[in-house]
Amino acid sequence: MITNVMHKALMDNDKVSATPVKAREHEEETGLSVQDTVEKGTEKPGFFTDMKKLFSSGLESKEEAYRSSDMDFTEKYKTELMGAGAGALVFGTIGAGIAYSNAMAEVEKIPVESVSLNWKEPIMQSKTLGQIPADYYQPNDLWGMFNNNNKGSVNVIRDAPALDPSGQPYLQPRSHTFTDHGKPVVRWSEQTIRNPELRGWSESTYEDTEEVLVGHHTESVKVGYDSDNNPIYEDRQVDDYETQTKGWQHRFTPDIKYHNLGTWEKPEVTFETGVNVGLRTLGGFALGATTGAVACALAARAAKKAIENMQQKQAEAAAKN
């Protein structure tokens, strides 16, 4: 529960069919399993074949899009996908670094130019606008009921322009020379001079609650069925909780109005080099990530295949013994 009070200021699923394969009577010396030999005119099943099926299916069926040969695509190619992800991250970072370095090298070859500018800007200073009550917590007990626990007041401080005796902002002259590679481009943006005034504050009260154990009761809970399919009930003790108010948090927010006292022109200088460093870096990351994903997926698949063949040969050797 939140209350707000305004105060015056104190001023100061279809399955994919499996690819048909030929049966074999003996394992080849290469260690390729029967699943690696396919009939003429059909695609060899594998990671990239299933990827092709995944994206060429047109997402006609959720099950067809995410399952291949009655096996979940993610689980089937977990090793390849993990390798692709790691490769994309590592090689993408390397590619971005190389592209960034090359782009910056091109920028360094561009001649250095300078531009000198003069302008006036307001003198900003930290100013105490006044005071508002400090936040405090009011417990829900006798002490809290008869004591508001107010912790005094706090200063409200904001940046404000320095003003002359007539109430107008001081404008100090500024000058600066901007230097970098490329052709300087100057843009002026209008800035508003705003003078803050504390007009009051708002108070928000937040109720602090907790769940308190107040007792127990017994409930009959169905735990199963007997041999005649009749429900079996068991009495169990259930805790009873009640929401109780621990207290109230009082928070105060200053109500500040800003008065516009004028404007000033702020210079913004950029240097055009014709080299988009950010785009080059992003392109390098994309190229590196793509290359790394494909290379590491292939390497992970080859390693998994080698392990599977080794395990199969060990199992065959153990069976013969």
CA distance 262 to 193: 5
What pLDDT digit, counting tens, does each position of 239-269 carry? 999 999 999 999 999 999 999 999 999 999 9
Indicate the residue type of 286: A
First-residue to last-residue Cα distance in the chain:
77
What pLDDT digit, counting tens, does each position of 186-208 carry? 999 999 999 999 999 999 999 99
What pLDDT digit, counting tens, does each position of 133-185 carry? 999 988 888 776 666 666 789 999 999 999 999 999 999 999 999 999 999 99
Check whether 36 has a pLDDT greater than 50.
Answer: no
pTM (predicted TM-score): 0.54
CA distance 309 to 32: 7
Q: Could you tell me whether strands 2-8 and 153-161 are parallel, antiparallel, or unpaired per DSSP bridges? A: unpaired
Check whether 23 has a pLDDT greater than 70.
Answer: no
Instruction: Output the CA torsion sign for 198, 200, 202, 203.
Output: positive
Instruction: Provide the percentage of residues in the chain whose pLDDT is more than 90.
Output: 49
Check whether 32 has a pLDDT greater than 70.
Answer: no
Sheet with strand 231-272: strands edge to edge = 2-8, 183-225, 231-272, 136-139
Contacts of 207 (CB under 8 A, 6+ apart): 1, 2, 245, 248
Residue with tokens 């936040």: 135
* 296 and 82 Cβ atoms separated by less than 8 Å: no
Confidence of residue 68 (pLDDT cuts 50, 70, 90): very low
